[in-house]
Chains A and B, each alone.
Chain A
């Protein structure tokens, strides 16, 4: 992917904000500049630590945490230069070299909140992004190479790198995962799309101890991005091997082998062992053993490892003495010894504790709607507030079901371009922004931020995505929907009463989609369209989507900013979550074997372009993505409302005791927020 250039305007804005951000850190209250967008004073300059890629500049001597030095002295650990790889990851901390020690306090909401920890330890990914989330960076792999024909991707591992138990980490750990886990039908019943191109499976093999080859039958230029993204194959050990997940491309072979029937003495023997340990069979036991959140013995590559499992009242992580990252002076990372996440059964308690200053750094579960309360208690709680606008276009996206058939009249209108445009023009996004985003978001279409390479350009944020009830009414009138009832709602052409569109929302969503839809329902009155807002449990929403029953489902489109890595909320291509039409997604995923071919030629075109992209080199791929976005926005396949906001993640509450905290960090799924800011470099100043 090409390095993203920051536009001049963006740069100037960033620079000006940086000054106010600096002022803000020391003195509160800070000032607000005239004419500045609301919230600008809380949005700092995008910054973060950088990797030192030139081996000549790498430190030769290493330092370590006092906690580990004590173990070394007692002979319980080898000295630090024997633990850190010969080719470490060298991180230049954002502000300064940190101090060792301390416990980072956070909140989590239970075992379902695994991402809370996963996102902190994601430097166990094969490749990663820089702090701008636009440039692929080394991570576990020190380097990579892609063949000219795009069929072979080679990754190079770090010499002398070790698991958290001191065992060497080599290409064999990849081969073990591929041969014994991924290809084992008992464990992984079907190949995974992330490791396929055009429906054909890829292959993994070792060239030598430090060289791993991924090979495909057809060109797959996208694969480097896939390895860097938050995908099943490139997502890293922690994120891809918990709660039953089996992906992640490598695994601690020396440890996991004993739990596999093949090495452990057959299925019966393994079942017996599993039952003795309290599990119902070898598979449950195996999946429990490689789950980093549950198994404290599991060797990991992550900077911190679990010492008190997630299914307790606190989830505690402690430093990995063999972590492969160091700072520019050779001090082994992370600086912070321990991360302690306290269980909170409800979000109000999380927020109240955050307001009381009981967390050192929390950017999850902290709702934007509580911003005034956070600001009010800043001094009392001794913390700073940062807003990190996301890159995705719309936090509340009206995802239209393009496969809907149950009610032919409704289906007809949902599949009519001008009808969709009218719906979009009937939404007053400024109202939504003011009410639910406190004015901090940016109204517009589903298209991603201009800073994203895939962005089709700023004009596409506005296209068909402004409030223009007059034009909307003209569209609807032209479509022949001129008959209205006593209350001014347009009637169906088949004489069965009003046109009623169902807006399905999901209970418990982080963004208040139900309330947002209530407001949209009011706004659509002006264009004579009646909406039924229906909030359902999450399970139920999935069932309805998969039964092709819903008209429109509202959900955030975060992740779509990296269109090829997470397309499901931009195009109906992924049957796992196909808000835009389950049968169409099945058709796409099965190469036309199952499901329903999209009737809309433009939709089909966009999907075909999407399918062709992995085989194209970066510049062309970016062009295709831009074209796809143009089609989506022009056709209003899904309707955007307000996005580029901090709402999808949460307000970042950072204790003033912490150092190396970026003024602004990237808020995006593929950047594993906050991991692209390298939490290993955060430290307690005193």
Chain B
């Protein structure tokens, strides 16, 4: 569901600013990247958003370190446990602890009821050994940011509660973040390759090739994306492993996402082709490849980056939508889509609303990417407003 772009993007302004003062002197000798950075800094929301995005990608890298419980460890006796209260101070000094919990199903309401046991104080500690994982997918490790003393976190620590199968939601959220954000990144990378390649060809050579590519884009955009996804996702060979499905889903999402980028690239190529410096380079006898890579690409790279940033949130939303339709990643895989799909029922809303918590990071990340992308786009236009 890639959002439509403005058919009329804010165009470059041709009139150069009259340059006199010292400050403006500084501007006139600055590289394009410096200019961009200065402009970007002015957009405070974009700056803040960038920090948020970086923060989330830290989670992607350190997901297993930040998770304290095995995200797959299930236990009926802690099914649908609400977020736990953490006591930060013990006797006035900072020593976080939680109480042990015992749960039963209320025979009248059929809800699971958990009562803290004040006699069972469980200390929460930082940098504790827990379940085994491979740090950065290679180094075997068992160190976690938080953990508990005297028992296992699977049995005692539930920062934002548990799901139906008694799995710790916080830890699942960490892993889900890793999956979904990397789908966004990988998907966008693929879209980017397709988009730059086809958009570039289209803009550079024009003619029949351009027409054909433009038609293909138009066709792809004319089909409502959902059926296209559904057809493709349903056609995935079922003997594929979760990882293969994961990559296939990314490819499917990016197959539709590239059209947007291709349009941007083509538009840039078309307008830059007319620029004087390109003409100058041509007159100076530069080869076409040299013109493309040393002159053209750098001058629209910033736009590409902005467009790419704006494409990532669409990918993330696509992943959750596909999971909702039952066509994306399916359990036991963990992704934002999978987590949200589990909350997509009335009993979650009525009796276990904490299952909705994963929608908060989804919202934050998508907003952050959008604001960051807007900031980048504004900044990428060095002579803009």
- Assess A/B contact in the complex (Cβ within 8 A): yes
Q: Which residues of A contact B (CB under 8 A)?
A: 29, 32, 36, 38-39, 41, 348, 351-352, 355, 369-373, 375-376, 430-436, 438-439, 507-508, 514-515, 518-519, 521-522, 532-537, 540, 544, 549
State the CA gap A549–B345 with chains docked (Å). 33
Say yes or no: A376 contacts B109, CB within 8 Å: yes
| Interface size grouping (class) on chain B | 20 to 34
Say yes or no: B110 contacts A372, CB within 8 Å: yes
Say yes or no: B105 contacts A38, CB within 8 Å: yes
State the CA gap A165–B166 with chains docked (Å). 58
Q: A352-B346, A438-B105, A507-B326 are in contact. List 4 more A-B contacts (CB 8 A).
A: A36-B107, A369-B347, A371-B110, A434-B79
Residue B155 at the A interface, CB < 8 A?
no
Query: Closest 10 interchain pairs by CB?
Result: A434-B76, A431-B76, A435-B76, A32-B107, A372-B110, A535-B330, A373-B350, A372-B111, A536-B238, A370-B347
Residue B216 at the A interface, CB < 8 A?
no
Q: Find B238's partner among A355, A373, A519, A540 (CB 8 Å cutoff).
A: A540
Distance (Å) between the CB of A243 and the closest chain B CB? Answer: 23
Interface set, chain B 308-356, CB cutoff 8 A to A: 326, 330-332, 344-347, 350-351
State the CA gap A432–B165 with chains docked (Å). 9
Interface set, chain B 95-112, CB cutoff 8 A to A: 105, 107-111
Q: Which of B15-23, B44-52, B67-75 contacts A (4 or more CB under 8 A)?
A: B67-75
Q: Which residues of B contact A375 (CB under 8 A)?
A: 108-110
Chain A residue with Cβ nearest B105: A439
Q: Find B73's partner among A376, A433, A436, A522 (CB 8 Å cutoff).
A: A522
- Asked, given contacts A369-B347, A373-B351, A536-B238, whether A521 binds B332 with beta carbons under 8 Å apart, the answer is yes
Q: Which residues of A contact B76 (CB under 8 A)?
A: 430-435
State the CA gap A438–B104 with chains docked (Å). 11
Q: Which residues of A contact B109 (CB under 8 A)?
A: 372, 375-376
Q: Which residues of A contact B74 (CB under 8 A)?
A: 431, 435, 518-519, 522
Interface set, chain B 158-198, CB cutoff 8 A to A: 164-166
State the CA gap A265–B321 with chains docked (Å). 54
Q: Which residues of B contact A521 (CB under 8 A)?
A: 72, 332
Say yes or no: B330 contacts A514, CB within 8 Å: yes
State the CA gap A39–B106 with chains docked (Å). 10
Chain A residue with Cβ nearest B163: A515
Say yes or no: B331 contacts A373, CB within 8 Å: no
State the CA gap A430–B77 with chains docked (Å). 10
Distance (Å) between the CB of B229 and the closest chain A CB? Answer: 14
State the CA gap A349–B340 with chains docked (Å). 18
Q: Find B351's partner among A372, A432, A519 (CB 8 Å cutoff).
A: A372
State the CA gap A351–B345 with chains docked (Å). 10
- Asked, given contacts A535-B330, A535-B331, whether A29 binds B108 with beta carbons under 8 Å apart, the answer is yes
Listed A/B pairs (15) with beta-carbon separation below 8 Å: A38-B110, A348-B346, A355-B346, A369-B347, A370-B346, A372-B111, A431-B74, A431-B75, A431-B76, A435-B79, A438-B105, A438-B110, A507-B326, A536-B238, A544-B238
Residue B234 at the A interface, CB < 8 A?
yes
Say yes or no: B346 contacts A351, CB within 8 Å: yes
Q: Which residues of A contact B165 (CB under 8 A)?
A: 435, 515, 518-519
- Asked, given contacts A351-B346, A370-B346, A507-B326, whether A534 binds B108 with beta carbons under 8 Å apart, the answer is no
Instruction: Report which residue of A39, A355, A370 has the largest number of chain B beta carbons within 10 angstroms of its beta carbon.
Output: A370
Chain B residue with Cβ nearest A352: B346
State the CA gap A669–B321 with chains docked (Å). 36
State the CA gap A536–B109 with chains docked (Å). 34
Say yes or no: B347 contacts A373, CB within 8 Å: yes
- Asked, given contacts A438-B105, A521-B332, whether A372 binds B347 with beta carbons under 8 Å apart, the answer is yes
- Asked, given contacts A348-B346, A544-B238, whether A514 binds B331 with beta carbons under 8 Å apart, the answer is yes
Q: Which residues of A contact B332 (CB under 8 A)?
A: 518, 521, 533
Interface set, chain B 60-84, CB cutoff 8 A to A: 72-77, 79
State the CA gap A521–B167 with chains docked (Å). 14
Chain B residue with Cβ nearest A38: B107
State the CA gap A187–B239 with chains docked (Å). 38
- Asked, given contacts A371-B110, A375-B110, whether A435 binds B238 with beta carbons under 8 Å apart, the answer is no
Q: Which residues of B contact A540 (CB under 8 A)?
A: 238
Chain B residue with Cβ nearest A518: B332
Q: Which residues of A contact B351 (CB under 8 A)?
A: 372-373
State the CA gap A436–B238 with chains docked (Å). 26
Q: Which residues of A contact B166 (CB under 8 A)?
A: 435
State the CA gap A34–B234 with chains docked (Å). 50
Distance (Å) between the CB of B378 and the closest chain A CB? Answer: 41
Q: Which residues of A contact B344 (CB under 8 A)?
A: 348
- Asked, given contacts A32-B108, A438-B110, A533-B332, whether A522 binds B346 with beta carbons under 8 Å apart, the answer is no
State the CA gap A436–B79 with chains docked (Å). 10
Q: Which residues of A contact B350 (CB under 8 A)?
A: 372-373, 376
- Asked, given contacts A32-B108, A372-B351, whether A515 binds B346 with beta carbons under 8 Å apart, the answer is no
Chain B residue with Cβ nearest A521: B332
State the CA gap A434–B104 with chains docked (Å). 10
Q: Which residues of B contact A522 (CB under 8 A)?
A: 72-74
Distance (Å) between the CB of B6 and the closest chain A CB? Answer: 34
Chain B residue with Cβ nearest A504: B238
Q: Which residues of B contact A371 (CB under 8 A)?
A: 110
Q: Which residues of B contact A355 (CB under 8 A)?
A: 346
Say yes or no: B330 contacts A348, CB within 8 Å: no
Q: Find B105's partner among A430, A434, A507, A535 (CB 8 Å cutoff).
A: A434
Q: Which residues of A contact B72 (CB under 8 A)?
A: 518, 521-522
Q: Which residues of A contact B105 (CB under 8 A)?
A: 38, 434, 438-439
State the CA gap A434–B80 with chains docked (Å). 11
Chain A residue with Cβ nearest B240: A534
Q: Which residues of B contact A372 (CB under 8 A)?
A: 109-111, 347, 350-351
Q: Which residues of B contact A518 (CB under 8 A)?
A: 72, 74, 165, 331-332
Q: Which residues of B contact A434 (CB under 8 A)?
A: 76-77, 79, 105
Distance (Å) between the CB of B96 and the closest chain A CB? Answer: 29
Q: Which residues of B contact A32 (CB under 8 A)?
A: 107-108
Distance (Å) between the CB of A676 and the closest chain B CB? Answer: 27
Q: Find A537's partner among B77, B108, B234, B331 (CB 8 Å cutoff).
A: B234
Q: Which residues of A contact B73 (CB under 8 A)?
A: 522
State the CA gap A372–B108 with chains docked (Å). 9
Q: Find A515's partner among B107, B111, B164 (CB 8 Å cutoff).
A: B164
State the CA gap A552–B107 with chains docked (Å). 35
Chain B residue with Cβ nearest A31: B108
Distance (Å) between the CB of B203 and the closest chain A CB? Answer: 41
Instruction: Report which residue of B75, B76, B241 has the largest number of chain A beta carbons within 10 angstroms of its beta carbon.
Output: B76
Distance (Å) between the CB of A488 and the closest chain B CB? Answer: 11
Distance (Å) between the CB of B316 and the closest chain A CB? Answer: 22
Say yes or no: B164 contacts A508, CB within 8 Å: no
Distance (Å) between the CB of A428 and the closest chain B CB? Answer: 8
State the CA gap A453–B303 with chains docked (Å). 75
State the CA gap A534–B237 with chains docked (Å). 12
State the CA gap A610–B351 with chains docked (Å). 47
Chain A residue with Cβ nearest B234: A537
Chain B residue with Cβ nearest A42: B110
State the CA gap A371–B350 with chains docked (Å). 11
Q: Find A373's partner among B107, B108, B326, B346 (CB 8 Å cutoff).
A: B346
Q: Which residues of A contact B330 (CB under 8 A)?
A: 507, 514, 535
State the CA gap A436–B74 with chains docked (Å). 12
Distance (Å) between the CB of A549 and the closest chain B CB? Answer: 8
Q: Which residues of B contact A436 (CB under 8 A)?
A: 164
Distance (Å) between the CB of A571 and the closest chain B CB? Answer: 26
Q: Which residues of B contact A438 (CB under 8 A)?
A: 105, 110
State the CA gap A537–B235 with chains docked (Å). 10
State the CA gap A355–B347 with chains docked (Å). 11
- Asked, given contacts A434-B79, A435-B79, A439-B105, whether A534 binds B238 with beta carbons under 8 Å apart, the answer is yes
Distance (Å) between the CB of A494 and the closest chain B CB? Answer: 19
State the CA gap A431–B347 with chains docked (Å). 20
Say yes or no: A515 contacts B238, CB within 8 Å: no
Say yes or no: A515 contacts B347, CB within 8 Å: no
Say yes or no: A348 contacts B345, CB within 8 Å: yes
Q: Which residues of A contact B345 (CB under 8 A)?
A: 348, 369-370
